[in-house]
Amino acid sequence: MLIKQDNKYYIKATKREQSFWANDYFGTQNNGKIIQEIQEYENFNKSGNKDINYLDNIKSLGKFHNGLSLGGGFGEEELSIVAKGVVENMTFVDFSEGSNTILRENAEKLNIKNKVFSINGDLNFIKLEKNTYDFIICRNVLHHIINLEECLFQLNNSLTENGIIVIDEFIGANKFQWSTTRIEFIKTFCKHLKEKFDIETLDFVKTNKKSLTNNCPFEAIRSEELYNLIHYYFGENQIQENRYGYLFEDQSSYVKESNSIIYTELLKFEKIIKDGKLFPAPRIFGVYKKGNKEMIQTQLWTNKEIKENIGILPFSELQIMRLASKLRTMFPGIYENLKKIYFLIRR
């Protein structure tokens, strides 16, 4: 493992991560509407057919009885797996009690409460019984895990001989520190999109690493390594796999209405990236059977590595100004003093 559960930096980072995900931080840019082109894009990349949802493909693989979802959050997609009869029962493991509470409420609304079980657990140190689950799903959670080698080994170990694991994950740049090639290409595309269709687009830049680490320390913590680790444990028993999301996902949520012309443009540029191998796709969707590999042994991070990866980093200027702004109304005169202190620290 890379980190221990009782490490003081890890304990503090876990609290920050839990606090971050207690809020609906990202929201839904398209106001929760099911836009046909987005659905078709996801269908194509996950089932190979724009008109077929990947769950329909999985149903064709057989009837599953005992499912496991890691970090399923509120269970929007995972609960539908149970509701549609793909899996008889599903156990959800998430470190957020708030998420688990909402999950149970959502399960009750779907009338599947008796088929859903939720557990609070730290996925970095999860222990699973051998040969227990015939269906496992990991959706947008593995890229938040530090001890990936142990976690993936536990997942594989808990699969039954005929079980499957579904992985839909971000495998792009650690902490979203994108390459210059990717940034410049997407900026060019965004400019084209804005000029041609007069729509707002993402301001595609490298994420502020300090701010991300301070607020959501486990986000994309080892995402660059994830693809190779998935392949080590499960690659030899691959049922299907596709890398996707070169461009489409980044911008699609900013289109609030169905517009086939805009989506055609998005897909055209994504094909240019893929065919030209300009940069790797940041997402993977795969379905795999149980592997037979031993667990990869790793060394603990040093305190320096821990602090660099998940420790509180120095406040950014924006954070200082936000704090000063809040305190200014409470304590007249403190704003200017804080600015002076900040600039002294920067020297």
Q: What pLDDT digit, counting tens, does each position of 274-293 carry?
A: 888 888 899 999 999 999 99
Q: Which tens digits make up the pLDDT trace of 64-122?
A: 999 999 987 777 788 989 998 999 999 999 887 777 788 888 889 999 999 988 888 89
Query: What confidence tier does 346 reach under pLDDT thresholds 50, 70, 90?
Result: very low
**Mean pLDDT, rounded, for 43-57:** 90
Q: What CATH class has 8-312?
A: alpha beta
For residue 44 the two structure tokens come to 């194509």
Q: Which tens digits make up the pLDDT trace of 229-256?
A: 999 999 999 999 999 987 766 555 555 5
Sheet holding 133-139, edge to edge: 116-120, 87-94, 64-70, 133-139, 159-170, 283-289, 238-244
Q: What percent of the chain has pLDDT over 70?
A: 82
Task: Tell me what pLDDT residue 343 has.
Answer: 46
Task: Tell me what pLDDT residue 184 has.
Answer: 87
At CA 248, angle to CA 146 and CA 123, rounded to 5? 20
| Size of the chain, expressed as the number of residues it contains | 347
Mean of all residue pLDDT scores within the chain: 84
Q: Is the pLDDT of residue 33 over 60?
A: no
Owner of token pair 């990236």: 273
Least Cα distance to 256 among 38, 40, 51, 45 occurs for: 38
Strands 116-120 and 238-244: unpaired
Q: What H or E segment, with its residue span, contains residue 288?
A: strand 283-289
- Are the beta carbons of 295 and 153 closer than 8 angstroms? yes
Q: Is the pLDDT of residue 28 over 50?
A: no
Q: Which tens digits make up the pLDDT trace of 125-164?
A: 999 999 999 999 999 999 999 999 999 999 999 999 999 9
* Surface-to-core class of residue 268, CB atoms within 10 Å of its CB (0-12 exposed, 13-18 middle, 19+ buried): exposed
Least Cα distance to 218 among 17, 2, 9 occurs for: 17
Task: Tell me what pLDDT residue 100 has.
Answer: 78
Query: What confidence tier does 226 reach under pLDDT thresholds 50, 70, 90?
Result: very high
Helix and strand tally (H, E) in the chain? 14, 7
Give the best-scoring range by mean pLDDT among 15-19, 30-34, 126-130, 193-197. Answer: 126-130
Q: Which tens digits make up the pLDDT trace of 155-205?
A: 999 999 999 999 999 999 999 999 888 888 888 888 887 888 877 776 677
Task: Tell me what pLDDT residue 37 has.
Answer: 78
Task: Tell me what pLDDT residue 259 has.
Answer: 67
Query: What confidence tier does 32 reach under pLDDT thresholds 50, 70, 90?
Result: very low
Task: Tell me what pLDDT residue 251 has.
Answer: 56
**Mean pLDDT, rounded, for 303-307:** 92
Least Cα distance to 38 among 285, 258, 274, 197 occurs for: 258
- Are the beta carbons of 13 and 5 closer than 8 angstroms? no
Query: What confidence tier does 338 reach under pLDDT thresholds 50, 70, 90?
Result: low
